[in-house]
Amino acid sequence: MLIGGALFIAGSVVNTGAVNISMLIVGRTLLGFGIVFTLQAAPLYLADTAPPRWRGAFTISTTLCVSIVELHVFIKLLCAMKDAVFLFYTGWLLVMTPFVAALLPETKGVPLEAMRSVWARHWYWRRFVKDDAKQEIHVNRARSTS
């Protein structure tokens, strides 16, 4: 998701400063890659970190449907705002990046069984996660047997 955001910001900057058609093509290509990276990564992240009863609820058809709704919104904004639409999306990325950095814990290398304890240790989410002591015992037992 970070790669997608970085590519989208780069594409927005290139498109904003475009002085010829080649720069527009490069900028839009970067925007496209940014969107594709994010659309591929976000559903996988949500599916992996979702509680067990909700896993599998995020499907490809849902992703495709959201992509088509996003496309319609983008086209309407592009018609209304012209080139400023890229600045609009860049602004939202600048707002979302600190939000993600502050409110989403790092889950790299953490097995799904330990995900509850990751959320229980986070400064914000720990107030919503209950019964983390039992989960820690379960995770510690699983680690000691492997």
pLDDT digits (tens, 9 = 90+) for 65-95: 556 677 677 778 888 888 888 888 889 989 9
Decide: 99 and 7 in contact? Cβ < 8 Å: no
User: Best-predicted range by mean pLDDT among 22-26, 36-40, 60-64, 76-80?
Assistant: 22-26
Phi and psi at 17, nearest 5°, equal -95, 10
**99 and 134 assigned to the same domain:** no
Across 105-128, b (16+ Cβ under 10 Å) vs e yields eeeeeeeeebbbbbbbebeeeeee
pLDDT, position 61: 54
Which residues are CB-neighbours of 26 under 8 A, at least 6 positions away?
14
Q: Considering its fold, how many domains does the chain have in total? A: 2
Q: Nearest Cα to 5, choosing from 80, 83, 104, 91?
A: 91
Tell me: do 79 and 133 sit in the same domain. Answer: no
Q: What percent of the chain has pLDDT over 90?
A: 20
Tell me, yes or no, whether 122 and 98 share the same domain. Answer: no
Are residues 11 and 25 part of one domain? Answer: yes
- H or E element at residue 93: helix 84-103
Lowest-confidence pick of 29-33, 70-74, 101-105: 70-74
Q: Do 100 and 136 sit in the same domain of this protein?
A: no
The model carries a pTM of 0.41
